[in-house]
A and B are shown apart, each in its own frame.
Chain A
């Protein structure tokens, strides 16, 4: 993914002299990344199991309190996924798992169409039906439709068609995230002993910031050459777009920053790590001050200015990582190597 790591070349040679591993006192950047991401996948798996249990409880005895709990558990699991979305390689690529968890953007409303088809089906789906169907029905957006879409005003969630569908999706989600966590653990040895994954991890984090800036905010806000379009935002049905962005930033803070700091310290460039941390904290503070939704801000000048500030903060964060830090480390990102055919 990245052509060269000039400055680290020397370092890598030095590290080869000592066993690359657990014997050393200070963990390497890859050890830190692997450990932190394992915790993030563990949380995603646990939150998905809570969501599955919550859906089962609600369907058994639907009431307002359990519904509220269900919505909260959906959001917690969705946020746990956002936190570890900066990892775009390894087990999450298997069977398009990332897409299974979150099919987005959805320009053709495939999520709505797929849910609509299953709601009308004569036989309720089981988890195998969901597993063999499209990614549009497998993830958090399909559950969001069931919980929040206007069309669900006419269809009570607690009725069998909707409840069975919801339970099948949450079970599939729990299965997928549990497998993801397990596979990440098994992936550890390969990740730790393959030096290229240092570059891969950095490139993946850079790309996640690019997607954050351009796709998750820029396009729905109308900052990328086309008019604003709230339907391109994530979680527009629930109005939680900004909260998801915030979770991704928090995930970089806990999952990515420690390993990055280690890497930059070894490269004698600790000030860059501090600059990244400061900008990340500033961005997080800005995100936490905003209302949860993006769509309402499109028609509200003051709210839109707040979003623009967040967009600019993320843009600076991306520049810091993708240009200054990548430059310092001698990383050059490829064209075909990151998106060939």
Chain B
């Protein structure tokens, strides 16, 4: 996503046409794919590439429910990841609309559902669990070498989840959820009383942990995040403690590296039901959008000011991505694809599909 700069802002087009976001398909009509893990109504698992009209799309069936994804810079590829405790990642070729590779996590490992490329598109960084000791890792793969596994970077913690590359290209920012799971136990959370979540900065070359910021409560699982062009990070929590308590659910690492949590009004925090799914920065301003599927809400925040700009109802709000024009695209677990534009009072329904979108849009 980093490579998507704003190409046509300032053309003054108030028409609904979107700036091209991703690659064009030279051999066919130009299609801007949104990638997402989806389930069909009968519960089958797929990776979908969907054009913004919602009509043009392709679906690749996969054996397990997938979660997040990332685009490979300067290529036609996207990679989508099996959901915890899944063990595969899927490289999708946007030209052929086919599955190009399936890469296994390897015996004794599983993925957490997220990954990110370096700026050149060569190395892929994927969050993973080493089952023998529940060690959270970033596994590194070489896309130029058929996605061969290169090395592992331990994180001195449990349950790394979403990660992104900082704009300078050398540092990874990682949400360490802190939750221990094991495939033998399915999705049972095994360590809720001893969780140690964090927001981490990791040198992607040396593997050195450069910073470890700790949420204000040990059961605030730091899971999903995005980075602005200036290096500001916003991350969302999922609270695993008593649901009658209220804790901040959004934290920020500003461009100078200062960590803070955003104090929203209690009733707003409560309406999110302890659960943030996706975080997406606008590439145009300091606007950041946050989805809360359990609260059926999206929030628009000014990351600089720490101000809540909008609080909109959107059922089962799931995946989110900037639309390149200062607005956002948001998917709903109930099938809708919406555009959320700062300053408007309600999300605009772009398409309604017989699909259940998982929590992230790529």
- Which residues from A are CB-within-8-Å of B241? 94
Residues of chain A within 8 A of B193, CB atoms compared: 95
Looking across the interface, which residue of chain B has its beta carbon closest to that of A3?
A: B315
Task: Please provide the chain B residues from 292 to 320 with a CB less than 8 Å away from any CB of chain A in the complex.
Answer: 293-294, 296, 315-316, 318
CB-CB under 8 A for A95 and B192, given A336-B333, A341-B67: yes
Provide 28 A-B residue pairs closer than 8 Å at the C-beta atoms, listed in order of the A residue.
A3-B296, A96-B192, A110-B184, A134-B185, A135-B185, A135-B190, A136-B185, A183-B242, A187-B244, A190-B243, A332-B315, A332-B334, A334-B293, A334-B296, A334-B315, A334-B333, A335-B334, A336-B293, A336-B316, A336-B333, A336-B358, A337-B294, A337-B316, A340-B277, A340-B294, A340-B318, A341-B358, A341-B359
- Write the nearest CB–CB distance from A326 to chain B, whole angstroms: 14
CA distance A102 to B184 in the complex (A): 15
Residues A52-101 near B (CB distance < 8 A): 89-91, 93-96, 99
**B270 CB to nearest A CB, Å:** 8
Asked if A335 and B316 make an inter-chain contact with CB atoms under 8 angstroms apart, the answer reads yes
B residues less than 8 Å from A136 (CB atoms):
185
Interface size on A, residues (CB 8 A): 29
Known: A335-B316, A336-B358. A96 touches B190 (CB 8 A): yes
A126-175 contacts to B (CB < 8 Å)? 134-136
B338 at the interface (CB under 8 A from A): no
Docked CA distance A136–B357 (Å): 33
- Please tell me which one of the listed residues A3, A99, A187, A337 contacts residue B188 in the complex, with CB atoms under 8 A apart: A99
Q: Does A103 count as interface, using CB distance less than 8 angstroms? A: yes
Interface residue A120 (Cβ < 8 Å from any Cβ of B): no
CB of B39 closer than 8 Å to a CB of A:
yes
Say whether chain A's binding surface is mostly helix, strand, loop, or mixed.
helix
Whether the pair A340, B293 counts as a contact (CB closer than 8 A) is yes
Known A-B contacts A95-B193, A110-B185; A337 and B113 likewise in contact (beta carbons under 8 Å): no
Which 3 A-B residue pairings sit nearest by Cβ, starting from the closest?
A: A335-B333, A334-B316, A3-B315
Complex formed: what's the CA distance from A188 to B268 in Å? Answer: 21
- B293 — which chain A residues lie within 8 A by C-beta? 334-337, 340
Given contacts A93-B243, A337-B275, 20 further A-B contacts (CB under 8 A): A3-B296, A4-B296, A94-B192, A94-B242, A95-B193, A99-B185, A103-B185, A103-B188, A108-B184, A135-B188, A190-B244, A196-B273, A332-B334, A334-B315, A335-B358, A336-B358, A337-B296, A340-B333, A340-B358, A341-B113
Instruction: Report the minimal beta-carbon distance from A95 to chain B, rounded to whole angstroms.
Output: 5
A96 vs B184: C-alpha distance in the bound complex, in angstroms? 16
Q: Does B130 contact A (CB under 8 A)?
A: no
> Is B3 in the interface zone, CB < 8 Å from A?
no
Residues of A contacting B189 in the complex (Cβ-Cβ under 8 angstroms): 96
Q: Interface readout for B181-201 with A: 1 if CB under 8 Å, 0 if not?
A: 000110011101100000000
CB distance from B128 to the nearest CB of A (A): 15
Interface presence of A1 (CB below 8 A): yes
Do B357 and A335 touch across chains, with their CB atoms under 8 A apart?
yes
Residue contact B84 to A1, C-beta cutoff 8 Å: no
Residues of chain B lying within 8 A (CB to CB) of residue A107: 184
Which parts of B113-134 form the interface with A (CB within 8 Å)?
A: 113
Q: Which residues of A contact B294 (CB under 8 A)?
A: 1, 334, 337, 340
Q: Is the CB of B315 within 8 A of A335?
A: no
Closest B residue by C-beta to A135: B188
- Bound complex: CA of A190 vs CA of B244, how far in Å? 6
Other-chain residue from B67, B242, B315, B359 in contact with A4 (beta carbon distance below 8 A): B315
Find A341's partner among B83, B188, B190, B334 (CB 8 Å cutoff): B83
Residue of A nearest to B238 (CB): A340
Q: Is the CB of A91 within 8 A of B242?
A: yes
B190 lies within 8 A of A336 (CB): no
Please, which residues of chain B bring their CB within 8 A of the CB of A135? 185, 188, 190
Q: A3-B334, A93-B243, A341-B113 are in contact. Are A335 and B296 (CB under 8 A)?
A: no
